[in-house]
Amino acid sequence: MANTSSTHDVKVLGAWPSPFVIRARIALNIKSVEYEFLAETPGSKSQLLLQSNPVHKKIPVLIHRGKPIAESLVIVQYIDEVWSSGPSILPSDPYDRAIARFWAAYVDDKFFPSLRPIKSAQGEEKAALVKQVNEGLVLLEEAFQKSSKGKAFFGGDRIGYLDVAFGSMLGWLRATEKMGEVKLLDEAKTPGLVQWAESFCADGAVKGLIPDTEKIVEFAKLIAARMKGSGSS
């Protein structure tokens, strides 16, 4: 193994459905870092989580040698810097690194927020959201063609920063397609991304972390029912 960390040194606070938690876990896998996964119960916050992330009170939190680091993209960058002997996650070229950070921010600020409401939207609202997501996917397809330079991943021959940032969303993307009865990742419009998604999910650092579509659908229904119940009480 490329490092000497034990599972006592590294802990991840998270929950299996969270794409943001998945980012931290993939990054640790890329670096071959052993870690302990401490599962938070959806809908509640443990004392350890509240102590470790008092500002946002959200998962994921990486705890390394007792010190907490919050926010998924910050965690990925931290992992890349601390375990520098493993494969690099961020590009080495400053321009490529800046571009990867730009698109990762786009995924979080624009793409994912427009994806989430599709499953329950209707009529014109749904059509507008689908259009927005499809436009975003076309932009990401263009970014993929430029960044990958003909290779399998945004990071080239191996998974990189933008792969982790965007790829962590694939489970929810597929679940949204199923729940919303829409086609988002389309081979006709985004052939590069369709092939990339297959390669990403098959990678050794990712296998077993992207949740099954049906499992996410059931989880989403459970959360929706819980919110509806709390709203009517």
**Domain CATH code at residue 75:** 3.40.30.10
Q: What is the pLDDT of residue 47?
A: 97
Co-location of 149 and 204 in the same domain: yes
Q: What is the pLDDT of residue 2?
A: 43
pLDDT in tens, the chain (233 residues): 345 456 679 999 999 999 999 999 999 999 999 999 999 998 899 999 999 999 999 999 999 999 999 999 999 999 999 999 999 999 999 999 999 999 999 999 999 999 989 988 999 999 999 999 999 999 999 999 999 999 999 999 999 999 999 999 999 999 999 999 999 999 999 999 999 999 999 999 999 999 999 999 999 998 888 887 766 43
Beta-carbon count within 10 A of 230 CB = 9
| Measured distance CA(66)–CA(212) in Å, rounded | 32
Range of the domain at 160: 94-214
Cβ atoms of 159 and 152 closer than 8 Å: no
Burial (CB < 10 A; 0-12, 13-18, 19+), residue 169, is buried
Of 40, 59, 82, which marks where a domain is finished?
A: 82
| Measured distance CA(186)–CA(228) in Å, rounded | 33
Co-location of 49 and 123 in the same domain: no
Cβ neighbours for 34, distance < 8 A, ≥ 6 positions apart: 1, 5, 6, 7, 10
Q: What is the pLDDT of residue 6?
A: 62
CA dihedral (21, 27, 29, 33) in degrees, to 10, reads -100
Of 33, 48, 82, which marks where a domain is finished?
A: 82
Co-location of 36 and 64 in the same domain: yes
Co-location of 65 and 158 in the same domain: no
Q: What is the pTM of this model?
A: 0.94
In a domain, 230, yes or no: no
